Amino acid sequence: MILSNASPLIYLAKLGKLDILKTLFKEIIIPKEVYEEVILGKKDGFFDALTIEKAVADGWLKVKEIKREKEIERFAPELDEGETALINLAKRLKVDLILIDDASARTIAESFGFNVKGTLYVLLKAYKKRLIDKDELKELINKLVFSGFRISQELYIQLLKELEKI
């Protein structure tokens, strides 16, 4: 079972690659709070919000309501509502993987023992499964960076160097 936070959904939708999640994992679950966060842009006609809403309507992106547990909020008050709900949901379900990009949220989810990856992992996995080629992967990574995706300069350079070796 795969859970996702908002940013992997938003960035993959911005890249026009949200369907990679469906191909790789068949089904993704998000808490209601994450859904509400990702479709905020719908009122302004943002393509990513409309794409995510369609994935929910198509049934492979599933929205679950979860009762809020105060434990996570006390343990990690810096998390937003979506991140808190995601970790709460993960604690209740048997989860194989959680997709989160935010570094502090990743660390907190990992502290609960969850396997946590992010948008770059999804793109690299798509490359390894030959859903995208090396040139497209490089282009997508560059588009991510230019669209505001947070990645350290060192990691970005290392990633591009690794891709050259492939």
104-153 confidence digits (pLDDT tens): 899 999 999 999 999 999 999 999 999 999 999 999 999 998 888 988 88
> In the prediction, which pLDDT does 129 show?
94
> In the prediction, which pLDDT does 159 show?
81
pLDDT at 165 over 90: no
pLDDT at 154 over 90: no
Average pLDDT over residues 3-21: 96
**Beta carbons of 100 and 116 less than 8 angstroms apart:** yes
Residue-wise pLDDT for 26-79, tens only, equals 999 999 999 999 998 888 878 899 999 999 999 999 999 987 777 776 667 778
- Give the chain's length: 166
In CATH, 2-120 is 3.20.20.70: no
